[in-house]
Amino acid sequence: MRKTNRYPVTHANSLWQIYKTVSFWKVAKNFIVIQLGRYTPFLGMKNWLYRTFLRMKVGKKTAFALMVMPDVMFPEKITVGANSIIGYNTTILAHEYLIKEYRIGEVIIGDEVLIGANATILPGTTIGDGAVVSAGTLVNKDVPPGVFVGGNPMQLIYTKEEMGKQLEKE
C-alpha cells in the first residue's frame, strides 16, 4: 500500500464532500495558478509560480513541460528535486477521492529524475534520484533510485547497472 492517510466518509461518496476536505477558495486559486503554469513556456516562471503560490517544493533547474498537471487540491504535498524533467501532460496527484474514503499522501520526486509524457503519479509514492519513468506509466508504487520503469501496471525495465551498460552501448 502507498503511504497515504485515509479518511473514511459517510453518506455520499467522498467527492461530494470535497469542500469539507479543502477550501473552495484554495482550489480556485490553485486552479488558476496551475493553468498559468501549464501554458507558460517559461520554465523559471513555472517554478516560481509553483513555489510561491502552490507551496510546492521545486528544486533548481527542474523543468515542467507543457500541460503538466500538479494536484489542484494539495500541491503543497508535492516535492520535486533539482534538475528533473516532468514530461508533457503528466499528472501528479497527492489525493484520491474514493467511494467510502479519500486519501492524501506526499509525492516525492528525487533529483535528476526523468518522467516521460502522459505519466500519472499517484499519491504516497516516491521516485528515487536518477530514476527514469517511461511515457504513459502509472506510478502506483515507489520507484528505487537509478532504475528505469514503465507501463501500466508499472514494471521494472532496467536496473541501475543494466541502464549503465545500455548507455555504454549507445
Tens of pLDDT, residue by residue over 45-100, are: 999 999 999 999 999 999 999 999 999 999 999 999 999 999 999 999 999 999 99
How many residues are present in the chain? Answer: 170
pLDDT value at position 168?
77
As given in the structure block, the three cell numbers for residue 134 are 517511461
Q: Is the pLDDT of residue 107 over 80?
A: yes
**Nearest Cα to 24, choosing from 93, 73, 78?**
73
Contacts 24+ apart (CB under 8 A), 109-112: 109/78, 109/79, 109/80, 109/81, 109/84, 110/81, 110/84, 110/145, 111/59, 111/81, 111/82, 111/83, 111/84, 112/81, 112/82, 112/83, 112/84
The more confidently predicted of residues 115 and 163 is 115
134 in Cβ contact with 149 (< 8 Å)? yes
Q: How confident is the model at residue 1 (pLDDT cuts 50, 70, 90)?
A: low
Mind listing the pLDDT tens digit for each residue in 123-156?
A: 999 999 999 999 999 999 999 999 999 999 999 9
Domain 5-169 sits in CATH at 2.160.10.10
At 165, is the pLDDT very low, low, confident or very high (cuts 50, 70, 90)? confident
Task: Please report, for residues 9, 26, 52, 121, the alpha-carbon distance to residue 64 in angstroms, rounded to integers and kept in the order given.
Answer: 34, 22, 15, 14
pTM for the structure as a whole: 0.94
Q: Where are the domains of the chain?
A: 5-169
What residue type is 168 in one-letter code?
Answer: E
